[in-house]
Amino acid sequence: MGTATYPITFGRTDLPADLTDYALPHGHAGDACGAVLPYPGDIVALSVSGSPEPAAGSATFEVAINGVKIPTPIAVINAVNTQRALTTIGHEAKATFKAGDRVDVLVTTTADWDPTTTDFAIELWCTLGSYAPG
């Protein structure tokens, strides 16, 4: 069957232009950023959906663990991927986190990003290890 994966949700309404490594709000937490994970696990994918589609510029979505960006996954919305982007991580390149680590999704937009009324839903897909009392 394989390993179960779980989404950690992030989002943003009205994504502005000219952002650099802006930490997106987690779930329905308003401006609270980052998710503190209760179990160890691996990040295996990042999916991004936005509407309306951009007329210009790009938005790049990356992941950080405890404030340190990891090399993959990276998802880009631009003239090619206008509303959806999905990237997965191969087994050998997986990003591992420990219980209590904070995970953020960061976004960078170009100065010409338009429209700034685009809303995004982001899922960071993870496998979670089992609970082991301390």
Domain ranges of the chain: 6-128
In this predicted model, what pLDDT tens digit does every residue of 7-57 receive, in sequence order? 999 988 899 999 999 999 887 555 667 889 888 999 989 999 988 888 999
pLDDT of residue 133: 46
How confident is residue 93, by pLDDT bands cut at 50, 70 and 90?
A: low
Q: How many residues does this entry show for the chain?
A: 134
The CATH number that domain 6-128 falls under is 2.60.120
Q: Residue 47: how many CB atoms within 10 A of its CB?
A: 18
Q: Residue 97: how many CB atoms within 10 A of its CB?
A: 21
pLDDT exceeds cutoff 60 at 134: no
- DSSP letters of 60-102? EEEEEETTEE-SS--EEESSSSSSEEEEE--GGG-EEE-TT-E
pLDDT of residue 2: 55
The model scores a pTM over 0.85: yes
For 55, list phi and psi in degrees, rounded to 5: -95, -25
8 A C-beta contact, residue 46 and residue 74: yes
For 109, list phi and psi in degrees, rounded to 5: -115, 150
For 93, list phi and psi in degrees, rounded to 5: -110, 10
